[in-house]
Structure 1
Amino acid sequence: MNHALLDHLTHTLGALPPSAANLCRDAQPLNLSRGQDLLHEGGHWQHLWWLERGALRLYYLDRDGQAANKNFYLDGALVWPITPALREQPVHFWVEALEPARVWPLPWAAWARSTEAFAPWRALEHRVLASLLQDKMAREHAFLQLSATERYLALRAEHPDWLARIPLRQLASWLGITDVALSRIRRRLNPG
């Protein structure tokens, strides 16, 4: 039987331990509508998610209820609570579908047990953690030392797929500017 999640993880990691493969076979996809929450502030993040297709955003709400985007995930992304605090404490952010999405959840505790001694998963976790740290440092640098235009140019170079899929106002929030300011920057860079 063809199973998209098992196929994807086997392609990514090689043959899975039997217990991990069984978790994949038992998984049922969630079909999310645009704007539907996958996780909400105060909830507990208890799953690894494979985003088969669609777009998700991870965002915070400030004291005034304004959203600030932290990250975006597109087709094929694997997302999980990578730190102990994310697994053990209520989260302070939301995860929402930006467009219709198909997400495969795996119970995190069972997945972690079944892959504890699985070297390909440990290597992937290490690469993802290193990438997250690098992204965090680059984002910090961008906000402290780059202009809004320079941040947009960096976004355009690093995430061209975002430009095609993520709404302008969401990109502006990620850049720390208004959508009006982003429109001006884009017009200035692409006259005519």
Structure 2
Amino acid sequence: MDISDNFLLDFFKDIPKTELISIFGLINRKKLKKNEIFIEEGTFYNKFFYINKGLVRGFYSNADGEEKTIFFRWEKEFGADPESYFNHKPSKLTWCAMEETEIFEINFQKFEELSKRNVGLLKLRIMASKKLLNRMYERLESFILYSPEERFQHLLETHPDLCERIPDKYLASFLGITPVSLSRIKKRLEN
């Protein structure tokens, strides 16, 4: 992997170049096709990932096969399966690429071992964990404090491009409403 790679420049900017060599072996560049599943429910995913390009969706499937979208992750974001990352258990979610996507996977256990000996990597590990927890907290808070319409408006304000990239059925599921309700919200906001 080339040290000039954007991922390395973003993620490891505070690590001396001489120390980067020890972590090159932990990084796996993975290209995902649209609709490709890269984490299946019931599997243990002992990695976290950074999205260099693209969009992924994490979802539950209920007994009837209905999918409930829990997370979206997009460019320049960290992602991890919460159950595997925090609890070292098999995933309860399925993770799928919504479009052509490039991720960098990093083996969490090996990264954790290296970070115990390297303060710079420890800071990165803490920062990545904080970002993941913060996103989960924001998601929970939005369901407690805001209506579906307010959640949609917030998404439009903060990430208008995502509303164009995500099909309505997944967007509605993410907001906790039906596609028909999302359509009504969109019509109200247009007027």
Q: Compute the TM-score of the two structures, normalised by the length of structure 2.
A: 0.81
Alpha-carbon deviation of 1:147? 2.5
Amino acid at match of 2:186: R
Equivalent-residue separation in structure 2 for 1:160 and 1:120 (angstroms): 34
Q: Hey, what does 1:66 align to over in structure 2?
A: 66
Q: Hey, what does 2:23 align to over in structure 1?
A: 23
Equivalent-residue separation in structure 1 for 2:44 and 2:183 (angstroms): 37
The answer to whether the Cα contact below 8 Å between 1:81 and 1:87 also exists between their aligned partners in 2 is no
The answer to whether the Cα contact below 8 Å between 1:6 and 1:21 also exists between their aligned partners in 2 is no
Equivalent-residue separation in structure 1 for 2:134 and 2:86 (angstroms): 19
| Mapping of residues 171-186 of structure 1, within 5 Å | 171-186=171-186
After superposition, the C-alpha distances for 1:76-125 in whole angstroms (9 at most, x for unaligned) are 22223567764621111111100011122222211111122433444444
Q: Secondary structure at the match of 1:29?
A: strand
2:75 is equivalent to residue 75 of structure 1:
yes
Counterparts in 2 of 1:51 and 1:139: CA distance versus 1, 3 Å: closer
| Mapping of residues 90-169 of structure 1, within 5 Å | 90-169=90-169
Q: Where do 5+ consecutive residues of structure 1 fail to align?
A: none
Count of aligned residue pairs for this structure pair:
189
After superposition, the C-alpha distances for 1:30-76 in whole angstroms (9 at most, x for unaligned) are 21111111101010112222211111111111222111111111112
Equivalent-residue separation in structure 2 for 1:145 and 1:6 (angstroms): 37
Q: Where do 5+ consecutive residues of structure 2 fail to align?
A: none
2:36 is equivalent to residue 36 of structure 1:
yes
Amino acid at match of 1:139: R
Q: Hey, what does 1:8 align to over in structure 2?
A: 10
Q: Compute the TM-score of the two structures, normalised by the length of structure 1.
A: 0.81
Amino acid at match of 2:15: G
% identity of equivalent residues: 23
